[in-house]
Amino acid sequence: TWSQLEQMNIQLQTLIDEHNQTADHPLSYAVGYDISCKNHYYLIMDLLKIADEKMYQDKKYKKQQLAQKQQYLTKSGLAQSISSDSLKEKIFTILTNANGEKEYAFIMTDISKFHLINDYWGYETGTKILNFVLRRMELFSASLFVNRYHSDVFVAVLDITGRKSSDVKKQIEEYNRQIIQEILKTFQINYFHLNTGIYYLKDTSIPAEQIISHTNIVREKAKTELSGVCEYNNDIALNERHCADTIHSFKSALKQKEFKIYFQPKICGKDQTIASAEALVRWQRENDTMWYPDMFLPILEETGEIQALDYYVYEETFAWMNQRQKEGKRVIPVSLNVSPVHFGNIHSFAEKVMALIKQYEINPYHVIFEITETTFIHNIKAVNEMICFFHEQNIRISMDDFGSGYSSLNALKDILFDEVKIDKRFLSDDLSENGKIVLQEIFHLLKRTNKSIVCEGVETKEMVDFLVEEGCDELQGYYYYKPMSQNAFEKLLENIV
């Protein structure tokens, strides 16, 4: 039967591979076979001819592979890398010839912080380690081919026919552990770790470049996994599609004004009136679904498109404030978020902001820019330079998410901010006595340095009473108001006035 012949071929391949691992003179071989039966009938001469043709096809392919392997080593002794085009061709060839009879996995593996090995132990040691990893991956029983892709990244196609994906993942994890142990024993290094992404080749219609891209994504995700191994799954696929949708539809959405400004009021601690508000953004998609900031802001921050969105929010907010001024309605201060990317060119940012303020004739005192504590810590000089500029224009600056970073107290002595916004993680429904003491001391420090205090995430009466008693200047949270649309906010202001 066909399956018996397939099994014989696998057994032969296993025997020869085992022999070649230690042989002074490795064996090469080629195989061709077919069957003749009632529903698949050949005359004996035809059957021999077909098997013979397949054997020569196999021989040609294996000779090509052998020739390529002989080209692996460059003059430097480093295993030569495979090009993306060659890798795509290999994946395509394997999947095409399988005819759905086989199951494969494509893996991509890298070495954590490999550059530190080169820097500390030298490039000669680094080269030896790369070649060692390549050889060990080639000996993996399921490997059909293994190549160095680029730098310290390796790729391989595994034959996983008839095996569960969970078993494959466990075997790769175990094999990686073995390689790590052998590396640490063989070389004088103290740390070595591998990260592997796995993509199961179930759908042969997926282009090879997408397979490589998907696997590269989970290779990066593997760096956050304790095992160092991550599989491409439906959740990751959905997240990828979401990212692609966000990136590719952003510019047209901006042009069509799908982004809507929402406002969340901030309440004066002394008299419980609306003192100011924070401008937030929501994405109203074409299918009438509403996307909240955490669904698109992190993606736009990665691509740098967040700059365009920030300026859009500023202009829409200023236009709204300008309209209220013209209508003789109450205008209150509005806080606007500043993304970290702007600190790459603060002069350009300042010029654009001031141009918008001038265009819409906004009272600068009604503008408050919020900069996160983390951004400040990583850009202290640039942030302080920006604060000094805006102070000259009578614009206030707030430190957002104070307490979310790792240098809060150290930052206090250097900040030029006008107000500090306490991170909502400081507040909880069952704030402990120790928690209250911490907040009291922070308030004391802030008051002594003449900073206004804003607390966000306020959700209970008990928390309101405590914060007001301790002298919190403004409170923001669901206890008072959730973020609301521009129309709803306007109605709220009219009703209060």
CA separation for the pair 242, 95 (Å, rounded) = 28
> Do 364 and 223 fall into the same domain?
no
- My answer on whether 135 and 272 are in the same domain is no
pLDDT for 477 equals 94
Confidence of residue 73 (pLDDT cuts 50, 70, 90): very low
Please tell me the predicted confidence (pLDDT) of residue 94: 83
Q: How many helices (H) and strands (E) does the chain have?
A: 17, 15
- What's the rounded mean pLDDT across residues 14-33? 78
pLDDT in tens, 274-285: 999 999 999 999
Domain hosting residue 115, numbered range: 74-232
CA–CA dist 167, 254 (Å, integer): 46
**Residues 162, 60 share a domain:** no
146 in any annotated domain: yes
For residues 192 and 44, state if they share a domain: no
Can you tell me the distance from the alpha carbon of 347 to that of 63, in angstroms, rounded to the nearest whole number?
61
Statement to judge: residues 385 and 449 lie in one domain: yes
What domain count does the chain have?
3
Q: Which of 285, 45, 96, 125 is nearest to 201 (CA)?
A: 96
Tokens in use for 381? 């000089």
Q: Do residues 294 and 330 share a domain?
A: yes
Is residue 318 in a domain?
A: yes
The pTM of this model reads 0.74
User: Is-contact 206 223, C-beta < 8 A?
Assistant: no
Q: How open is the CA angle 55-56-61, to the nearest 5 degrees?
A: 100
Instruction: Give percent helix, percent strand, percent coil of the chain, each to the nearest 5.
Output: 55, 20, 30
Given a contact cutoff of 8 angstroms between Cβ atoms, the answer to whether 200 and 218 are in contact is no
> Taking residues 10-38, what's their average pLDDT?
79
Mean pLDDT of 138-143: 89
Asked if residue 244 belongs to a domain, the reply is no
> Does residue 428 fall inside a structural domain?
yes
Mean pLDDT to the nearest integer, 189-208: 91
Q: Which residue has the higher pLDDT, 238 or 18?
A: 238
Position 239 scores a pLDDT of: 93
Q: Which amino acid is at 404?
A: S
pLDDT of residue 74: 46
Report yes or no on 239 lying in a domain: no
What's the pLDDT tens digit per position in 91-128? 888 887 776 778 999 999 999 999 999 999 998 999 99
Instruction: Report yes or no on 448 lying in a domain.
Output: yes
Q: What percent of the chain has pLDDT over 70?
A: 94
H or E element in which residue 219 lies? helix 208-222
| Residue 241 forms part of a structural domain | no
- What CATH number is given to the structural domain containing 172? 3.30.70.270
Mean pLDDT score across all residues of the chain: 89
Question: CA nearest 368: which of 412, 418, 414, 405?
Answer: 418
